[in-house]
Amino acid sequence: MPEVKAHQIVLAARPQGRPKPTDFRLEDTPIPTPSEGQILLKVQYLSLDPYMRGRMDDRKSYAEPVPLGGVMQGESVATVIASKHPNYSEGTIVLAHTGWRTHALSDRADLRKLDPAVAPVTTGLGVLGMPGFTAYGGLRVIGKPKPAETVVVAAASGPVGSLVGQLAKMGGARAVGIAGGAEKCAYVKDELRFDAVIDHRDSDFAARLAAACPNRIDVYFENVGGAIWQAVLPLLNNFARVPVSGLIAQYNDVGKGDGTDRLPATMREILSKSLTVRGFINYEFAAEYYPAFLHEVGAGIADGRIRYREDIVNGFENAPEAFIGMLEGRNFGKLIVRVGV
């Protein structure tokens, strides 16, 4: 029998509403052996992202759900520890879709290699990876802010929202962030240098948002949905653009919400204001924009114009609890697990 050293986290049960720790199961597995053409990866950092909540439900979406008992999906920064593939030597650090595993085999010829001399490798999971590209692609292709326009984004301290606001400002627009709690709001205003920030937990949130947007809103980058969208909708200008990136406030919803059907009012606004509301999944834009994204955002990080924050949790076994917390706003910055086996 091979020695058991690797670990994986599987979907033990489909969550009803908010996920529980018992919806996940930590399993031991043997460390796999690479065949010809394969590499063996040891995961250093596992990315936790909001989209994973959708994969836990058995419903039709843009991607297949994780089957019960299947390994949770996800991207990681990993080191090649054994190689039978000509493109990879031992010690190479790559970005890979390993899932929630400590070790994984890959036969891909196109993994992105990460150079720690260029940027900290964890940025490949955040500002210089999928979430950063979501901000870049959604803004560039759909939002298209012009100088002096007002761009609003929620989850503004997170990896998508923080870059949306900073890119908007770099293009000459006015950035208004929405975040949960005083500490996150201070970070968005003082460190990320947004023009204004509003705490969505304030009882007079809608009035404060209106006051922070004297010229109303030209681009609303939708990360959250729910009550924030309801406060934004009446403030949208004619011809406003709404890239719909995510709806995290709704990911744990069960059934049809609170029973108030707001779709007729929403459609009226879309029609009467000639709004552009477009959903997107970041990889739609990858072929055309990924190299420009890496170049522009990489340069912004190198010279300090773009700032980012990571929330690194220690221990592979703590991934479920950290993930559950992210859906309630307990993370502060890009959520990453340091696997450290």
Ligand X SMILES: NC(=O)c1ccc[n+]([C@@H]2O[C@H](COP(=O)([O-])OP(=O)(O)OC[C@H]3O[C@@H](n4cnc5c(N)ncnc54)[C@H](OP(=O)(O)O)[C@@H]3O)[C@@H](O)[C@H]2O)c1
Contacts of 38 (CB under 8 A, 6+ apart): 84, 85, 105, 106, 107
Strands (E), 148-232: 150-154, 174-179, 196-199, 217-221
Interface with ligand X, residue 184, by CB under 6 A: yes
Task: Determine if 131 is a binding residue for ligand X (CB under 6 A).
Answer: yes
Out of 179, 232, 233, 297, the residue judged to bind ligand X by CB under 6 A: 179
Binding residues for ligand X, how many (CB under 6 A)?
33
Report how far residue 174's alpha carbon sits from residue 166's, in angstroms, rounded to the nearest whole number: 10
CA 300 to chain centre: 19
Residue placing its CB nearer to ligand X in the complex, 214 or 255 = 255
3-state secondary structure of 216: coil
- Phi/psi region, residue 58 (left: phi>0; alpha: psi -120 to 50; beta: rest), is beta
Q: Closest CB to ligand X among 77 and 155?
A: 155
Q: Which is nearer to ligand X, 24 or 136 (CB)?
A: 136
Give whichever of 19 and 180 is closer to ligand X, judged by the CB atom.
180
Binding string to ligand X for residues 250 to 279, with x set by CB under 6 A, is what?
------------------------------
Residue 180 interacting with ligand X (CB under 6 A)? yes
**Rounded-to-integer distance, Cα 253 and Cα 224, Å:** 13
The span from the CA of 100 to the CA of 63, in Å, is 17
Position among 23, 49, 218, 310 found at the interface with ligand X (CB under 6 A): 49
331 interacts with ligand X by CB under 6 A: yes
249 binds ligand X (CB under 6 A): yes
Task: Pick between residue 85 and residue 200 the one whose CB is nearest to ligand X.
Answer: 200
Give whichever of 10 and 232 is closer to ligand X, judged by the CB atom.
232
Closer CB to ligand X, residue 32 or residue 226? 226
Of the candidate residues 45, 51, 293, 323, the single one contacting ligand X (CB under 6 A) = 51
Alpha helices in 89-158 (DSSP H): 130-137
The identity of residue 122, as a single letter, is: T
Q: How far is the CB of 234 from ligand X (least distance, A)?
A: 18
Which helix (H) or strand (E) is 300 found in, with range? helix 286-302
Beta carbons within 10 angstroms of residue 213's beta carbon: 23
Question: Residue 157, interface with ligand X (CB under 6 A)?
Answer: yes
Q: From residue 17, give the alpha-carbon distance in Å to each of 56, 154, 230, 255, 340.
A: 11, 22, 22, 9, 31
Q: Give Cα separations from 184 to 187, 208, 262, 290 (angstroms).
A: 5, 17, 30, 29
Q: Closer to ligand X at the Cβ: 171 or 325?
A: 325
Query: Between 18 and 47, how does the x/- string for binding to ligand X read (CB under 6 A)?
Result: ------------------------------
Q: Which of 77, 94, 160, 297 binds ligand X (CB under 6 A)?
A: 160
Which residues sit at the interface with ligand X, rule CB under 6 A?
49-51, 130-131, 134, 154-155, 157-161, 179-180, 184, 200, 223-224, 226, 228, 245-249, 280-282, 326, 329, 331, 335
